A = this chain, B = another copy of it.
Amino acid sequence: MHILVIGAAGMVGRKLIEALVREGGLGGKPIERFTLTDVVAPTAPAGFAGKVETLAADLSTPGIAAKLIANRPDVIFHLAAIVSGEAEADFEKGYRINLDGTRYLLEAIRLAGGYMPRLVFTSSIAVFGAPFPEAIGDEYFSTPLTSYGTQKAISELLLNDYSRKGFVDGVGVRLPTIVVRPGKPNAAASGFFSNILREPLVGQEAVLPVSREVRHWFASPRAAVGFLKHAATMDSAALGWRRTVTAPGLSATVADEIEALRRVAGEKAVRLIREEPNETIIGIVAGWPRNFDARRAEAVGFVADRSFDDILRAHIDDELRGKISV
């Protein structure tokens, strides 16, 4: 089996590749070959005996998509995107990377002829825009309030149409917000959801810029990798021509996060969270979805995290070698 990962240097891409290498196969078939690409050359995974090609390439450059699929990978993970904030700040770049890039890939596959790979596409809950119902169901309409969400919603429509026409076998997954994101605190408006857990676990302070009542929709990196593997191997016919699902997340408040931290790491960890309200972030977060009814994805076998305690323990196992240092 030959697997192409576009966006292989990102956090989700790296975690996915690690898991695939560790497991040696996908859906019961051995993996012989990886093609890994991103705008910066991804590092080849350690411990993989098969063939690995890594290359720095920008999918939004005409001609690149055809090169990436020249050896007809069986499964393509298209995870490449610029994030919401950047797509909002740089309108042209957002459409070029997040829309044209996806369209070039679909066109390259169509024009290859006699080739219909499984294409797993990461979409986003940003395809939905406020005002929201209490829980956003599988038939709720897409009214994105960002260019990023617009680009993802358009890509979903293209994935459906190219699949319906028999040009590709697409499955899209709207990922929840990933917690706990490994690494350093970053400037993303959603960063605090991870920061308030990740930093205290290693004895560092973290800033909470919003109220503890804020509710949002989460998945661990482990669950996200599980979604992508399932999307790559499931029977896509179960989705009809509505090829993108809202992945099942965990709806939780900041208070729920903090209580999980207290249970798993103790009061001392919780005391490292400093409340420092930030009106800009409060405003941005107010427009985000809080809860979903993802029964369609659950019905076709996508599996959510069970609790925030589990999310925390997975982070401690995967990123901290099992050790809390507070």
Contact A150 B161 (CB under 8 A): yes
How far, in Å, is A84 (CB) from chain B's closest CB?
Answer: 13
Determine if A43 is an interface residue (Cβ-Cβ < 8 Å). Answer: no
Q: Cβ of A158: which chain B residues have Cβ within 8 Å of it?
A: 150, 154
**A134 located at the interface, meaning its Cβ lies under 8 Å from any Cβ of chain B in the complex:** no
Q: Distance in Å from the Cβ of A245 to the closest Cβ of chain B? A: 13
A160 within 8 A of partner (CB)? yes
CB distance from A90 to the nearest CB of B (A): 12
Task: Report how many copies the assembly holds.
Answer: 2
**B160 x A143 contact (CB < 8 A):** yes
Known: A91-B165, A139-B140, A139-B141. 17 other contacts (CB 8 A): A91-B110, A129-B241, A140-B141, A141-B142, A142-B142, A143-B160, A143-B241, A143-B242, A144-B157, A144-B161, A145-B241, A147-B161, A147-B165, A150-B157, A150-B161, A153-B157, A157-B157
Find chain B residues with CB under 8 A from A154 CB. 154, 157-158
A165 to B92, CA, bound (A): 12
**A164 CB within 8 Å of chain B:** yes
Residue in A129, A139, A143, A145 with the greatest tally of chain B CB atoms within 10 Å? A143
Contacts of A140 in B (CB 8 A): 139, 141
In chain A, residues 227-277, which have Cβ atoms closer than 8 Å to a Cβ of chain B? Answer: 241-242
Q: Whole-angstrom distance between the alpha carbons of A141 and B246 in the complex?
A: 14
Instruction: Provide the residues of chain B in CB contact with A241, threshold 8 Å.
Output: 129, 143, 145
Which residues of chain A from 150 to 198 have a CB within 8 Å of any chain B CB? 150, 153-154, 157-158, 160-161, 164-165
Q: Which residues of B contact A141 (CB under 8 A)?
A: 139-142
What are 21 A-B interface contacts by the 8 Å CB criterion? A91-B110, A139-B140, A140-B141, A141-B141, A141-B142, A142-B142, A142-B157, A143-B160, A143-B241, A143-B242, A144-B160, A145-B164, A145-B241, A147-B165, A150-B157, A150-B160, A150-B161, A154-B154, A154-B157, A154-B158, A157-B157
